Amino acid sequence: MEKAIRTILDQAQNNNIRHGEHLKALADLYSKCNQQSFHDEFLRCIASTITSPSNSTFVQHALQFISSFLTLEIGSSTNNTNDDSQNNDSMQTDLFHPILPRVIQFFDEHKNHPSDYVRANICVLIGQTLEKMAENAELDGDLFELLVNICLDRMNDRSYQVRAQAAKSSGRLQNTKDPDDLITKRLIWLMDHDSHPLVRKESLRSIAITRSNLQHFLRRLTDTNATVRLCAYNVFAQKVQTLKVLPTIERCRIVRMGMDDPEEPVVRAFVECVVHTWIDKLPVPIDADPTKHPDAHKTITGFLKMIDVMNIGEQTGRILKMLFDDNFTKHYDHFKETFINDRKLIEVERLDCESAFFWQHLVEYLSRNNDYSEKLDAILPELVDLVDVLYELIRSYHDDSTSDSVAAEINFVVDCVLHVMVHCKFDDLAGRYRVETLCRDMFFMEEIQTSTYKMIMNIMKKIEPKFEHRQRKTIEMLADLEKRESRCTEHILADRRSEHEIITLRERQSSLQDCLHRIRDHDIASQNVNERVQLERDLIEVKERLSNYDHTIISTQSQSHMTSITSAGDRSTIEHRNFMLVKRLTILCELLSTTMPNKILPPSFVNYARDLAVSSLMSLDIQVRRHAVRALGLLAVYDKHLMMENLELINKVVENDASVAIIEGLNALGDMFIRHNALNMMKNTNNSRQLIQAIEQGFNLIAQSIDSRIINVRLTALTNMIKLFFAGQVNSGEAFAKLIVAWYDESTDIRVGGLLTTFFPTYADKFW
């Protein structure tokens, strides 16, 4: 009998295609032989098979065949022709092969075998046997406990291959309803703590994801091994297919981890597996008819609404680029048909964070490819129309803009629309004038935060490409902000309403005058006296209304010039003045930062800007001081003489200030030293001793700030020190040692850690 069994096994391991025939032959042999003898001989054959490495093709075929035989049902192997068919069906669905208990006991007896191959193959057979059982299959309680104990023991094995096979085999032994399930706990431990990536990979493949263990699984998305991370995203896409099971903050965290992964294959896998799966599983809207268009809701904008694009804009933008690369035509056509109207605009009612964000990145994607110029023109509106949309948008948000969340939303949408505006055609003089008016107005609007000013100044750069003209207009805007501190969104919207009404009245006046002239020219006054009288009355009424508007505008202008707040002790007044001061400093900084530092600044502008920044350094408001330091640093980058004047002031801020203003001071020192080659300035004997000491103090302050208790200050100091090393301004061994310590520090974030990883190979030979 052993020879017959061995012959069938040899045939099965040589050719896995004919396993069905071999199974039938073995089942026939089983039905004709004594069961006890067959069991003993079959176990001997298993014992000889599992002593070989499981990565052998022949052994894999043999193990597959054995597991298939173990899961054969009694009815399919021992049914007699005289058996009742109903009884036969019952036996097939309820019972397994009688040899299975003996085999499981055999596994338990040999689970501690000294050979790694035997222990690993036992786990392989357990996994394949469980996998081939039906979904509703139930094992005897004792046998189930025996399998659980075998897998638990082997998951503590000294060999990582055995641990990996045990983790792989234990997937169907989990009890997700039991919070204290031993298999699940062991898989979690292996995922979190096992030293070998293969074991962590097989553990996360096997574990059944529930709300209680989801956080343990998500930690594998940041595993140190790229293969484990790649597997984690694939498994995550299979087992967590819908966004609804995750809170928004978790969705954003997963998107950030996936797109910020250092390995490009992992990023690609995240988009292709996770993002595509999320889009395919988006919930159907309540008002949609899935029978007509079953896939109409599976769109990128639907995906964007399920995450928070305001917090993960950079990562989401890269997702959109990859999705456009995969199937651009589909996404472009859907967006154009769904959102873009006849004027190539998105209606204000539909212009939200998601649609504006999609519009911005679609326009930027098209602008990078010259082949898509026609498609780009089809979704780029006229400047005048886009300005009207922005005013309408701000008006629609104005009543609720006191809320922080609403203010953040309107700034995000405005910033996206301004990014679209950059790509519009600025050859229309009327459109450029309207855009400039909009930019000036936005500086007065309390809804528009200073973070949006950078984009506004970029728009001004499109209106006035020449630095001299842009500088002149910036000074005009700064003076306007200083004179009319009380001007706000309400005044701007009221002026705009008045402007529209005046235009309407003047058009009405012109049409009435044309009608009266036509009546006089045709000499039909005597024929229709009533009509002429009515027209004259309407004309008089329109002129009176226009006259009232003129008086109102003159009165408002005089009041705005005469109004001044004199209550210096009023807290709200101080806060408002600080707010306006931050605006002026931000505009000044953005003008300087959007221009290359090779321009010659006029002395009058330099004096005005430096006086404004220096006078703001003593402010009690942190934001005022921060922007003042930034302005001084930007001015110093333009001119070496300005650096000499501002260096001591910036050193004092970094040394004595206890707020985040130190961050701007450190950035200013780093930029100044690199721009003007501070190391050569120290070696130049023509420079004064005071200047050389100030430069030395600046270098020392950057080095000392690496040890700061404030994490952001410390990270800023590290970044500037790395830049100084790269630029050849620092070659100190002590500073290099601080960078080494920072590389091992847990508080060093991914960005600075990446800079250090790039930096060390460059200077390793020099210091080690």
Residue 160 belongs to domain with CATH number: 1.25.40.180
With respect to residue 443, please indicate whether it lies within any of the assigned structural domains: no
Residue 43 lies in domain? 2-208
40 has pLDDT over 70: yes
Helices (H), 19-159: 19-32, 35-49, 57-70, 74-78, 85-94, 99-109, 116-131, 141-154
Residues 651 and 533 in one domain: no
More reliable by pLDDT, 702 or 402: 702
Residues 658 and 518 in one domain: no
Residue 570 confidence (pLDDT): 40
More reliable by pLDDT, 526 or 189: 189
- Axis-axis angle for helices 489-521, 383-398 (nearest 10): 120
190 has pLDDT over 70: yes
46 has pLDDT over 50: yes
Residue 14 confidence (pLDDT): 79
Non-local (6+) Cβ contacts of 313 within 8 A are: 357, 412
d(CA 189, CA 173): 16
Residues 534 and 668 in one domain: no
Tell me how far CA of residue 110 lies from CA of 8, 46, 104, 119, in angstroms: 24, 12, 10, 7
Give the pair of three-digit tokens for residue 153.
Answer: 């023991």
Residue 631 confidence (pLDDT): 92
485 has pLDDT over 80: no
Nearest to 483 by CA among 443, 522, 520: 443
Nearest to 412 by CA among 358, 376, 366: 358
Non-local (6+) Cβ contacts of 680 within 8 A are: none
With respect to residue 516, please indicate whether it lies within any of the assigned structural domains: yes
Tell me how far CA of residue 179 lies from CA of 135, 174, 646, in angstroms: 22, 10, 64
Residues 583 and 542 in one domain: no
Among 186, 208, 230, residue at a domain's last position: 208
Residues 523 and 628 in one domain: no
Give residue 124's pLDDT band: very low, low, confident or very high (50, 70, 90): very high
- Please, what sign has the CA dihedral across residues 454, 458, 464, 465? positive
Give residue 12's pLDDT band: very low, low, confident or very high (50, 70, 90): confident
What φ, ψ does residue 346 adopt, rounded to 5°? Answer: -95, 125
Residue 559 confidence (pLDDT): 40
Residues 528 and 640 in one domain: no
To the nearest 10°, the Cα dihedral for 531, 537, 543, 548? -150
Query: What is the pLDDT averaged over residues 294-298?
Result: 66
d(CA 316, CA 606): 40
Mean pLDDT value across the chain: 83
DSSP 730-747: ---HHHHHHHHHHHH-TT
pTM of the model: 0.77
pLDDT digits (tens, 9 = 90+) for 377-413: 999 999 989 998 998 898 888 766 567 788 889 999 9
With respect to residue 429, please indicate whether it lies within any of the assigned structural domains: no
Residues 549 and 600 in one domain: no
Non-local (6+) Cβ contacts of 260 within 8 A are: 315, 750
Give the pair of three-digit tokens for residue 708.
Answer: 């700061």
Give residue 88's pLDDT band: very low, low, confident or very high (50, 70, 90): very low
More reliable by pLDDT, 491 or 307: 307
Q: How many domains does the chain have?
A: 3
With respect to residue 545, please indicate whether it lies within any of the assigned structural domains: yes
pLDDT digits (tens, 9 = 90+) for 239-288: 887 767 788 898 899 999 999 988 899 999 999 999 999 888 887 766 65
Residues 165 and 26 in one domain: yes
Residue 524 confidence (pLDDT): 52
Residues 26 and 143 in one domain: yes
193 has pLDDT over 60: yes
d(CA 77, CA 27): 5
| CATH number for the domain that contains residue 645 | 1.25.10.10
Query: What is the pLDDT averaged over residues 155-178?
Result: 93
162, containing H or E segment: helix 160-169
Query: What is the pLDDT averaged over residues 724-748?
Result: 85
Residues 519 and 658 in one domain: no
Burial (Cβ within 10 Å: 0-12, 13-18, ≥19) of residue 103: buried
Q: Please give the share of the chain, as a percent, with pLDDT higher than 70.
A: 86
How many residues in the chain?
768
652 has pLDDT over 80: yes
Residue 572 confidence (pLDDT): 52
Find the range with the poorest average confidence among 34-38, 102-106, 239-243, 376-380.
239-243
Query: What is the pLDDT averaged over residues 339-355?
Result: 92
Query: What is the pLDDT averaged over residues 90-100?
Result: 56
Give residue 84's pLDDT band: very low, low, confident or very high (50, 70, 90): very low
Residue 504 confidence (pLDDT): 67
Residue 573 confidence (pLDDT): 74
Residue 99 confidence (pLDDT): 85
353 has pLDDT over 60: yes
More reliable by pLDDT, 187 or 744: 187
pLDDT digits (tens, 9 = 90+) for 531-575: 777 777 777 877 776 666 554 444 444 344 333 333 333 435 788
With respect to residue 581, please indicate whether it lies within any of the assigned structural domains: yes
Query: What is the pLDDT averaged over residues 173-190?
Result: 92
355 has pLDDT over 50: yes
Give the pair of three-digit tokens for residue 545.
Answer: 């209304």
Non-local (6+) Cβ contacts of 691 within 8 A are: 644, 647, 681
End-to-end CA distance of the chain: give it in Å, rounded. Answer: 71
Residues 44 and 107 in one domain: yes
Among 157, 174, 208, residue at a domain's last position: 208
More reliable by pLDDT, 597 or 685: 685
Residue 288 confidence (pLDDT): 58
Residue 47 confidence (pLDDT): 87
Residue 744 confidence (pLDDT): 84
With respect to residue 470, please indicate whether it lies within any of the assigned structural domains: no
Residues 604 and 733 in one domain: yes
With respect to residue 541, please indicate whether it lies within any of the assigned structural domains: yes
d(CA 586, CA 617): 14
Highest mean pLDDT among 69-73, 75-79, 90-94, 541-545: 69-73
Give the pair of three-digit tokens for residue 510.
Answer: 């012109």
Among 526, 554, 582, residue at a domain's last position: 554
With respect to residue 343, please indicate whether it lies within any of the assigned structural domains: no
Non-local (6+) Cβ contacts of 96 within 8 A are: 70, 71, 72, 73, 74, 133, 137, 139
Residue 335 confidence (pLDDT): 92
To the nearest 10°, the Cα dihedral for 86, 89, 94, 97? 120
d(CA 163, CA 198): 9
Residue 746 confidence (pLDDT): 78
Residue 68 confidence (pLDDT): 87
Give residue 82's pLDDT band: very low, low, confident or very high (50, 70, 90): very low
81 has pLDDT over 60: no
CB 720 within 8 A of CB 714: no
341 has pLDDT over 80: yes
Residue 400 confidence (pLDDT): 65
